[in-house]
Amino acid sequence: MPPENFLEIRDLNFAYDKRPILRGINMSIPKGQVVAIMGGSGCGKTTLLRLIGGQIRPTQGYVQFDGRIVHELGRSDLYETRRKMGMLFQFGALFTDLSVYDNVAFQMREHTDLPESLIRDLVLMKLDAVGLRGARDLMPNELSGGMARRVALARTIALDPMLIMYDEPFTGLDPISLGVIGNLIRKLNDALGASSIVVTHDVQESLQIVDYVYFVSEGVIVAHGTPDEIRSSKTPFVHQFIHGEIDGPVPFHYPSPPYLEDLQLESPHA
């Protein structure tokens, strides 16, 4: 494995029972880059994140992170590996009964033996990085949607992970909050010297901050490249997705017989 690619996905297949979800996935995530995984709903994007984190095991192929095959790790080694990863869940998933401060401190208290005085300094540092040091005493129900996502981001980077994964980080945000989160994803990745994977539907915001894009459709990678290469792609599915076209490889109409033929059929309710 090249040293600059500490996450490698090779010939990855995954199926629920006999229903295939991912087929022949190959990806390389270089150190220091922000990589987007795009595609329609249900194409397997979030499943891919679960495979990287070792929540589920591949049917075939492997995920290699920091030189180790994830699905071959024992329980303690898997937990050790996960401490090098950060995950921003869709809608943030903050602990509702904990303050902003305690949400960010949670991983530090759980996974380190740091004294509380040092934890305090680190929590304030992480909150300051997302612009919310002054909100440390608020509860999650006192936060706007954009603020909650930023607190969740501070919690995600609490242990300075090598890999940060974002599951639909822009969902439900107003344009200002969306821009703030996009800017933070890029700046925090560069500041930490980490790598980031952004699973998203938000085309325009993502193409402004990422270094590379993989497009997934029906469980396979149909295109990949830099943002400029993706914008100019002639692949029909990618072109339809990027430009938000109503009809194309993903049809507007659900499969049905010709309309005139349908009209001529005797109604079963007649």
The ranges of the chain annotated as CATH 3.40.50.300 are: 1-84+161-234
Read off the pTM. 0.82
Q: In terms of pLDDT, which residue wins out, 251 or 213?
A: 213
| Rg over CA atoms, the chain | 21
* 169-213 tens-digit pLDDT: 888 778 888 888 888 899 889 988 899 999 988 778 888 899 999
Strands 195-200 and 163-167: parallel
Please give the pLDDT value at position 3. Answer: 43
Of 66-75, 190-199, 205-214, 226-235, where does mean pLDDT reach its minimum? Answer: 226-235
Q: What is the mean pLDDT of the chain?
A: 85
The CATH number of domain 1-84+161-234, selected from 3.30.2090.10, 3.20.20.10, 1.10.1140.10, 3.40.50.300? 3.40.50.300
Please give the pLDDT value at position 1. Answer: 40
Please give the pLDDT value at position 232. Answer: 81
**Buried-exposed string 177-216: b where 16+ CB fall within 10 A, e elsewhere:** bbbbbbebbbebbeebebbbbbbbebbebbbebbbbbbbb
Residues in the chain: 270
Cα separation, 44 vs 209, in Å, equals 22
Cα separation, 71 vs 186, in Å, equals 29
Percent of the chain topping pLDDT 70: 90
DSSP 140: G
Please give the pLDDT value at position 208. Answer: 87
